[in-house]
Chain A
């Protein structure tokens, strides 16, 4: 048996699974999205793209995903740096703490936030007691709630991606920078940050795609009034049984994410090989 054949046989189960579980449904979705009463049609796409309501939903999805990614990066980078530079014991504890939220179901975690953020919940009640906000103040069913919930869910992805890269950065580079007269922050900015970009990019890609397609958290924390694209797709499928339109929305989400990510990947690939 040749090497080639052996490799093929080894890869076969994976390829089969990929074909069955990924390419087939995607192909079906593509077909469904152009399905019309009289043969293939683009009417579902036209309907979406010509309606300010759906464009608004798309814009909110992209905007929130962007904000969530930026916040994750802002928290995740310093956290990962500290994790990389403390002793092994402390690092273990920090990793456990970061991963811990992933061990509970996303629904349970989100319900926790609902308790804290709702009108009678801990945070709004506290703010009210201090007289900082009006009587009707609530964080539930706002975009802020969605962002808070999603950041918690996605932070581990960002932190661990960056951590992997930072731990491989030679510490002597930082020491060299310090002896050359850089302050601590300057070292971070000119040495550590550029070198950890690949991790930051990988983490951002994960955060962005996951939050753009997430459904449970925005639905529970944002409520029915703050629609994101994934929730809109879900509604089309379950409430009005309009599968072709749902498929068209899914294709738009898919293409939309590709469009945002492609230049991002290209740019950083050029910088970091």
Chain B
């Protein structure tokens, strides 16, 4: 009992001192856990702490959770910098939860490609990494190296094709891109559904999570899957001969953004953190560790890393961003239509 009380007291005092300290030199941010958070610490957080002497509290929260927290804390926000990968910054900025950023205050803003800093003035933070969606394939077994999205319909791949359910974010983007390549758009996903029906008839299989893709490649003789570039790297690390290629029709991209939270005391320090996040060193580090595509034009990558990402002005030219707000608005209907299309 006594010991418990002592621990409680200790915790309380630690809490008090940390909140007092927070006014001065502490930032609270979110990261996405696992290997991502590890890389995040290595590439940005630790160098930032060393350079500024500040302390960074990392809260592990995926985009949707972090956004829900941000909304709930509207009157007394607890995050200084908040990272999103699902386009939440568009809604957050519109609701005034995020503060506009003056590009002049970010020394690295000039190096960013235009698309990565398009809406800083509205409050949408800069994109510092991109998950590029393209074709992941087995370079030893695939009869021909795929080059475009419509290659998925090549009967040669037939039963060796793996599709991902659209409940998965990357699965959704892959599907929308296939739909686009087949002549559809965000108002009409029927061409995509027709293509999927055709692929399933040809023997393609549908999985719902990324580990299942690895399983298909490792054990069930899968040759090709539309998915994110970083996953080709994951497969290769598991000893599989996987390669990534951007489809000629375009590369759907999921932006990972660093956003400045409104109504927080330490905005200058937070801006320094964001500045560091978009620096070429941090982005090169992210690309190296996880194979996310950089958005800083000055980033230099080894050929080995560059092959796995959308790299350079040419690589990012084909990037397509399907409007996250439209996706959210249609998600319910699309998921139902998809479920009906794939049901046996």
Contact = CB atoms under 8 A, between A and B. Distances in A.
B206 interface: yes
Contacts of B300: none
B2 to A, nearest CB: 33
Contacts of B344: 225-226
Contacts of B342: 224-225
Contacts of A119: 219-221
Interface string B205-229: 1111000000000011100000000
Given A224-B208, A225-B206, A235 B335 contact: yes
Interface residues of A, number: 22
Interface in A106-126: 118-121
Given A235-B339, A240-B336, A242-B332, A118 B205 contact: no
B219 A240 contact: no
Given A224-B165, A224-B206, A224-B207, A240 B220 contact: no
A235 B342 CA distance: 14
A146 B22 CA distance: 55
Contact of B159 (A118, A120, A136, A238): A136
A238 B331 CA distance: 12
A40 interface: no
Contact of A141 (B167, B205, B219, B343): B205
Contacts of A241: 332
A122 B128 CA distance: 46
A240 B203 contact: no
A226 B339 CA distance: 10
Contacts of B219: 118-121
Contact of B335 (A53, A136, A240): A240
Interface residues of B, number: 21
Interface in A219-267: 223-227, 232, 235, 238-242
B336 A225 contact: no
B335 A239 contact: yes
A45 B200 CA distance: 30
A44 to B, nearest CB: 13
Given A223-B205, A224-B165, A224-B206, A240 B343 contact: no
A36 interface: no
A56 B340 CA distance: 10
A136 B203 contact: yes
Interface string B109-128: 00000000000000000000
A223 B207 contact: yes
Interface of A: 53, 56-57, 118-121, 136, 138, 141, 223-227, 232, 235, 238-242
Interface of B: 159, 165, 167, 200, 203, 205-208, 219-221, 331-332, 335-336, 339-340, 342-344
User: Which 10 A-B residue pairings sit nearest by Cβ, starting from the closest?
Assistant: A119-B220, A240-B332, A239-B167, A136-B159, A120-B219, A53-B340, A225-B344, A225-B342, A224-B165, A224-B208
Given A239-B331, A240-B332, 5 more contacts: A53-B339, A119-B220, A120-B221, A224-B206, A225-B344
